[in-house]
Structure 1
Amino acid sequence: MPRTHARTLTLRAAGTAFVVELTEPVPRVLHWGADLGDPAEAAAALALTADAAVLDNALDEPRRFTVWPTERDGWSGTPAQEGHVAGGGAAPGPLLTGSRHEEFPGGGGEIGLTLTDPGTGLDVELTYHLEPSGVLAAGAALTRAAGAGPQPYDLARTTTLLPLPGRATELLDFTGKWSRERQPQRRPLGHGGHVREVRRGKPGLDSPYLLVAGVPGFGFRGGEVWAVHIAWSGDQRYLAERLPEGAGAHAAVLGGGELLRPGEIRLAPGDTYRTPVCHFAWSDAGLDGLADRFHALLRARPGHPRTPRPVVLNSWEAVYFDHDLDRLRRLAERAAEVGAERFVLDDGWFTGRRADTAGLGDWYVDADVWPRGLGPLADHVRSLGMDFGLWFEPEMVNPDSRLARAHPDWILGPARGRGPTSRHQYVLDIAHPDAWAYLLERIDTLVGEYGIAYLKWDHNRELHEAVHGPHDRPAGHAQVDALYRLLDELRARRPGLEIESCASGGGRIDLGILQRTDRVWTSDCNDPVERQAIQRWTGQLLPPELMGTHVGDAESHTTGRVTDAGFRLATSLFGHAGIEQDLTRCTPQELARITAWTALHRELRPLLHSGRQVRADLPDDAALLHGVVAADTRAALYCWARVATSPDAQSGRVPLPGLDPARAYRLRVRTELGLPALHQTAGPAWFEAALAGWVTVPGAVAVRAGLPMPQLNPGQALLIEARAAG
């Protein structure tokens, strides 16, 4: 007798489909990936083919991988929910009690599922929201029922999981360290779990960032890929897991959630825990296709920056702690002369802050250094046509500070005594109501008093032994929640205020913090050799306009490497550009080149901050080709860069990705930043012609056949502009 299929719910957007079947007791995901066409026909066929074989020595009915997988389903992998009630209630058995389904006119929609678990007294509200970009946002709210009894439910972990097909057998995620963030690492997905846990109180410099599963050999421009990103600014857990028996009709699972410390979430009757949103995305166009979806998601946010991103001068590597009004006035004047549009005063302006060993937490202007306050500098900056920004690190405190001495109970740490400092800092318990109110008052007052347009919000140390109170209750979740509330309140009070997420450089880059900030500081390292890779992979999630990309001194302050000015300028062009050096010590020739660079950035900014990021798949990691292509493919800017020497003497034909093969394009080399040092006697003919003017090339040749590239010396870069002909 044919089986009667339950009702199916489908969401579709941008070539992606998500299909849920309302089976009982718990629904299951039938499909996540490519749009399969007519939703009714596809859903019926998916439901018909949803059950795998009944295996020997296994459950006597087909295993099903549900939306809230538990052992009741025969799922032996990581469950959706782990916890207990006074040592009991450890076998969740949720039941579907309600559902809703909404499709949006512009594509996408939302599915809501309500589950009730009588054994644990939990109600679970699952939400799947498919954006027009094709990114699926999934999350849950767990509420302890009011009549569930006096004992709290101790929630150990929740994991949001989606199924993967058998062809997704290769994994990509990221690691890193200070000044070398977001370094890719790949491996096969075998049986068992690939788990990345973050226990740093923030995503960290070694953040997994994205966990990508794909077909073998997927690259920037090709291959089918599935990915997850956890939108949470604290401890996290990423997971890809494959069992021999599969996951229902699927082969493996992908997902993640917040990493909770024991006892951190205790749900009394009426209490609710909301999981971080996990953003899932699928693409059949490789990593660039995946990046397209995330960039479209971010650019569609109501709060996404719409005005041109101002060129920034940040004072840190120019003066460090040597704050002197006259010196900073001169620096601001040079910044305005070369075309900067924003001046940011970095660390060193507040009470007792002559080095990084003291003063942190005392958010009052140092009267000894600034007897008239910051007003004279801020007013001077604005008189030069720039807006004024200021550095803060609100979540940290030096033991040598008035704040620490007056309020030791505001500092996180065990009751037995705090462990060693890191960077001479402890962590301020910003979930403490009085500490939270102090920070809000101080920051809001300074923003109002000095007309601050921009906050550089830093977070340098990691959270170890992040507990508070006499019983050492875990504080990581509450810390992130308090941070979000603080940022939200500041933005509500100061609607025009822009905020940068900085955490020892790129240690807190996630879509949770980016709901409340306007850009990230990509890395403390301005060395262009390192930056080429760091920016390349940061762009897997973020569009260029959200990435701070600054040009620094010839000798990098973090690596000591000396690099060519043209290479530094070309590298920092592809983002939210800025300057991180003492312009008062530059020669007239150096200032002229930086002026040319800011003018070039302003010219190309509309393209760079709205187009599609593209990256070429090249066999040689020492050479890089990346760029930005306009949405209508009529314009593009590419960077051809070399970071090291190679065994091969020639690059061969290199395709220019992202252009339309059906168009013809005019190409030229932009020379405003100077010509790179070349490792050749003469360049390819098209290149020599493009140095003098426009060269017309059929799009099919540029995209499919490719162009032989000039041979660059290491540490050199070249800018190639493309415009549609006619």
Structure 2
Amino acid sequence: MIHHLRAAGVSVVLDARGTRVPRLLHWGADLGALDPTALTAFAEARVPAIAPSSIDVPFSLSVLPDISDGWTGRPPVAVRGPRAQGPRARPTLLGTTAVGTQRIDTSVGWGAARIDTRWELTSSGILHIATTVTNDGRDDLALSDVGVVLPVPDRAREVLDFSGRWSGERAPQRQQPAQGVWLRETRHGRSGHDDPFLLVAGTPGFGFSRGEVWAVHLAFSGDKRLWFERSDLGASVLGAGERLSGLRLSPGEVYTAPAVFALWSGEGLDAVAARSHDWVRETRGAMTPRPVTVNTWEAVYFDHDLARLTELASAAADVGAERFVLDDGWFTGRTDDTRALGDWTVDAQSWPDGLSPLIDHVRGLGMEFGLWLEPEMVSLDSDLARAHPDWLLSDLATPTWRFQHVLDLTKADVRAHLFGAIDALLREYPISFVKWDHNRDLLVDDSGGQVRAVYSLLDDLRRAHPHVEFESCASGGARIDLEMVRHADRFWTSDTNDPLVRQRIQQWTGLLLPPEYLGAHVGDARAHTTGRVSSLSFRLATALFLHAGIESDLTRVGDADRAAIARWAHYYRAHRDFLHSGRAVHADLPGDSALLHGVVAPDRRRALYCYAALDSADAALPAPLTLPGLDPDAVYRVEVVDFGVPAHAIEDAPPPWIATGIVLPGTVLAAGALTVPLLSPGNALLLDVRALDVAATA
């Protein structure tokens, strides 16, 4: 049978006729309603010619292409063992089941291995692919690859993926590969700062609002492989799967592969992001309003003093903070980052009366209290490491990273100990939020079990404490994916609070996660990670759109700046429902000197945009702005948002409309009508755009 799945402007056509492995005939634009006759004709139309010096039957790319089919490209699945013996060495379709109208389950036998795959087209138009491999034989099987390959058209010639480093995550890199494989493989034991979290192939020149694109994401927080291949056979594919290291399956054992998310768009990257955001919001459900969060790390580091912290909490409440998070340094013996990780009891010297005096003060000011933990790690100079050296994931000869080792969470007694320690804290104190950190690579070859054990531990804690929210932090943004979003409520986007760097990191991270899941803080004027000085207006504009917070010693901030922060926090609280429910949009500006991003309400009657100058422009007068996403039939009023700390511009006079605002139709705003101030690099302009109750004239 030929199956046709349709949703949200996407069609998926899977040819599962006969006993051969199914063929994915189409993944892309909606083909409309096709009856069985039309689907059969479509499948016949896709049968190619037989090329000289090739297999003597028409080549057809299956969902499990193998060299025995004539596929000489990279195989998505590699099984070693009895499958190479006997008459069933080639994969064979065992069965296909339609589950409703949006899901197809396929089962393929490959020797002793049974490969079951669920192909589901979500309501947001994402092809969600989940695979398991079962050893149905009597001998062990070795798995070196279990992934997915998806065909993409020949016109998808340009590839975008991401690299990065600490405080510089999700750096884009684009190219047009020739024939062969462009492979991104990670070996961090976590996603990593250089995580290729999204691999995109598209028509040359695709952007945020233009071009046809196909993208894959592996929903996994560990080692992975993602690749694009152009074969000399003529086929191009995107592939994704966990990086395995000789995984062995005993008879009857099942391996569950990380899910692959496949996203198509005919309107550029913003539409890819919209599909992902819709899926996250639908899967996780409605969230409570994201509270203005103050984190103590860059304010005090390890200098934990009750008087200083209560003063900081009071200052936080004064500017409108709603959550106060005590970061690293509160537990026994933790005076710097070389010691005490793993000893999760309150330090009696710094906190002779426990954390209650601070927590009572914080809650008395009307704020929630949050606490930092790094449960997966241990310092050698700790009671835990001295008592249980056998709990370390690697031996002592392995180099430390941030002076710490990793606990082996695949051991049940390690997980039980960590659950007990964290559970005790959450029961003793009214803690509403846990910042869960992960500050090093694992440096082991096989880390899949560790990653899955972390998911399990988080789930156990969430079930026991459903009122507690958990943030995923991994020395910044080194663990952000669509599996961890099932286990965490917030993600720390990057350890840098430098707005010049943050603007780019946040732009690209937002391709995957909605803004309400990504933390962004207003830091000090001089960024702790770069030493660069930035204006308060730029820092406020950069942190506004995401889950906003503050990471600065507010007790040392001047009165005028504190008043501006308070106005910013009030604006955020008043408008966060709109900011965290709308569609994220970006303008495709020429060059890299500036960017424009925004959020447009679902009904398109409201929008907020940020125009950020990141470098010197290549013209004395930059081109007028285009505002994407608006209703062309509506009329809008555009006004500048002012928190009392204006952006710095090098000009004799600004454009006249800046002072008074302006009213224009959506068609005009989308065509490029708004001239901009001549902002110096490291400054931003916020535009509040609201529809008026009048119709645009024809």
Distance 1:677 1:424 in 2: 42
Q: Which residue number in structure 1 is paired with residue 665 of structure 2?
A: 698
- 1:157 is displaced (CA, Å) by 1.0
Query: Given the superposition, is the C-alpha separation of residues 402 and 89 from structure 1 closer, same or farther in structure 2, using an over 3 Å criterion?
Result: farther
Q: Which residue number in structure 2 is paired with residue 455 of structure 1?
A: 434
Which deviates more from structure 2 when the two are superposed, residues 92-101 or residues 282-291? 92-101
Q: Which residue number in structure 2 is paired with residue 277 of structure 1?
A: 259
Q: Which residue number in structure 1 is paired with residue 550 of structure 2?
A: 579
Distance 1:402 1:254 in 2: 48
Query: Given the superposition, is the C-alpha separation of residues 409 and 719 from structure 1 closer, same or farther in structure 2, using an over 3 Å criterion?
Result: same
Work out whether residues 144 and 267 of structure 1, in 8 Å CA contact, stay in contact via their aligned partners in 2.
yes
Distance 2:61 2:294 in 1: 53
Q: Which of 67, 70, 73 is matched with 2:69 structurally?
A: 73
Distance 1:362 1:385 in 2: 30
Which deviates more from structure 2 when the two are superposed, residues 213-222 or residues 644-653? 644-653
- 1:87 is displaced (CA, Å) by 10
Distance 2:406 2:44 in 1: 55
Distance 1:699 1:411 in 2: 60
Q: Which residue number in structure 1 is paired with residue 357 of structure 2?
A: 376
Q: Which residue number in structure 1 is paired with residue 93 of structure 2?
A: 96
Q: Which residue number in structure 2 is paired with residue 502 of structure 1?
A: 473
Alignment of 1:114-263 (within 5 A): 114-117=107-110, 119=111, 121-145=112-136, 148-149=137-138, 151-246=139-234, 251-262=235-246
Unaligned runs of 5+ in 1: 1-6, 467-473
Work out whether residues 83 and 89 of structure 2, in 8 Å CA contact, stay in contact via their aligned partners in 1.
no
1:595 and 2:586 are equivalent in the alignment: no
Q: Which residue number in structure 2 is paired with residue 15 of structure 1?
A: 9
Query: Given the superposition, is the C-alpha separation of residues 89 and 551 from structure 1 closer, same or farther in structure 2, using an over 3 Å criterion?
Result: farther
Query: Given the superposition, is the C-alpha separation of residues 569 and 517 from structure 1 closer, same or farther in structure 2, using an over 3 Å criterion?
Result: same
Q: Which residue number in structure 2 is paired with residue 322 of structure 1?
A: 303
Unaligned runs of 5+ in 2: 694-698
Distance 1:141 1:87 in 2: 16
- 1:304 is displaced (CA, Å) by 4.0
Instruction: Give secondary structure in 1 for the equivalent of 2:584.
Output: strand
Instruction: Give secondary structure in 1 for the equivalent of 2:565.
Output: helix
Q: Which residue number in structure 1 is paired with residue 52 of structure 2?
A: 56
Work out whether residues 537 and 643 of structure 2, in 8 Å CA contact, stay in contact via their aligned partners in 1.
no
Deviations 1:221-240 (A, max 9, x none): 11000000000011010011
Amino acid at match of 2:61: F
Distance 2:89 2:168 in 1: 43
Q: Which residue number in structure 2 is paired with residue 471 of structure 1?
A: none
- 1:14 is displaced (CA, Å) by 0.4
1:648 and 2:619 are equivalent in the alignment: yes
- 1:305 is displaced (CA, Å) by 4.8
1:725 and 2:692 are equivalent in the alignment: yes
Work out whether residues 185 and 243 of structure 2, in 8 Å CA contact, stay in contact via their aligned partners in 1.
yes
- 1:603 is displaced (CA, Å) by 1.6
Q: Which of 591, 602, 607 is matched with 1:631 structurally?
A: 602
Distance 1:685 1:99 in 2: 65
Distance 2:589 2:663 in 1: 24
Distance 1:340 1:653 in 2: 36
- 1:374 is displaced (CA, Å) by 1.1
Q: TM-score, normalised by structure 1?
A: 0.93
Instruction: Give secondary structure in 1 for the equivalent of 2:519.
Output: strand
Aligned length: 690
Q: Which residue number in structure 2 is paired with residue 606 of structure 1?
A: 577
Work out whether residues 31 and 46 of structure 1, in 8 Å CA contact, stay in contact via their aligned partners in 2.
no
- 1:111 is displaced (CA, Å) by 0.8
- 1:686 is displaced (CA, Å) by 2.5
Work out whether residues 225 and 284 of structure 1, in 8 Å CA contact, stay in contact via their aligned partners in 2.
yes
Which deviates more from structure 2 when the two are superposed, residues 122-131 or residues 270-279? 122-131
- 1:625 is displaced (CA, Å) by 0.9
Deviations 1:217-258 (A, max 9, x none): 000111000000000011010011110112xxxx31112110
- 1:684 is displaced (CA, Å) by 2.3
Alignment of 1:485-634 (within 5 A): 485-634=456-605
Distance 2:114 2:444 in 1: 32
**Alignment RMSD, CA only?**
1.4
Deviations 1:240-296 (A, max 9, x none): 1110112xxxx311121100123xx21111100011001000000101111111111
- 1:617 is displaced (CA, Å) by 0.6
Percent sequence identity over matched residues? 50
Instruction: Give secondary structure in 2 for the equivalent of 1:261.
Output: strand
Q: TM-score, normalised by structure 2?
A: 0.97
Work out whether residues 174 and 208 of structure 1, in 8 Å CA contact, stay in contact via their aligned partners in 2.
yes
Q: Which residue number in structure 2 is paired with residue 287 of structure 1?
A: 269
- 1:92 is displaced (CA, Å) by 4.6
Amino acid at match of 1:9: H
Amino acid at match of 1:712: L
- 1:171 is displaced (CA, Å) by 0.2
Q: Which of 407, 418, 424 is matched with 1:428 structurally?
A: 407
